[in-house]
Amino acid sequence: MNKIRGIHVRVGEKPEVIEFKNTYEEYRKLVGGDIELAILDKNAVIFCNAVGKLIGLEGNRSLDNGDIIAGNFVIVGDDGSGESLSLTDK
């Protein structure tokens, strides 16, 4: 199975670099439900809980645009065509 490296950001905890299976099911497990994709920048994306705010998950971090991510989320690299990549040390 294809594994990638990303940053798992849990509510109330320090971000943690993790290695995990690059599967839909694994992303669901990491965010605690159905996933939603948010573009962080041209090289990275955030996978978060699609209904986190609606179901009352605690706010985790705010984005530059003022939006707040509710619940746990994962940051991974993006190849520009929709494929998730491992984050590098940069």
- Is 90 domain-assigned? no
- Is 80 domain-assigned? yes
17-55 confidence digits (pLDDT tens): 999 999 999 999 999 999 999 988 888 999 999 999 999
Domain that holds residue 52: 3-85
The answer to whether 8 touches 90, Cβ cutoff 8 Å, is no
Among 3, 54, 11, residue whose Cα is nearest residue 27: 3
10-27 confidence digits (pLDDT tens): 999 999 999 999 999 999
What's the domain count of the chain?
Answer: 1
- Is 42 domain-assigned? yes
Q: Residue 27 to residues 12, 31, 33, 66, 90: CA-CA distances in angstroms? A: 19, 6, 8, 24, 23
64-82 confidence digits (pLDDT tens): 888 999 999 999 999 888 8
In this structure, what are the phi and psi dihedrals at residue 61, rounded to the nearest 5 degrees?
-140, 160
- Whether pTM > 0.85 for this model: the answer is yes
- Is 54 domain-assigned? yes
Q: What is the pLDDT of residue 33?
A: 96
Q: What is the pLDDT of residue 89?
A: 79
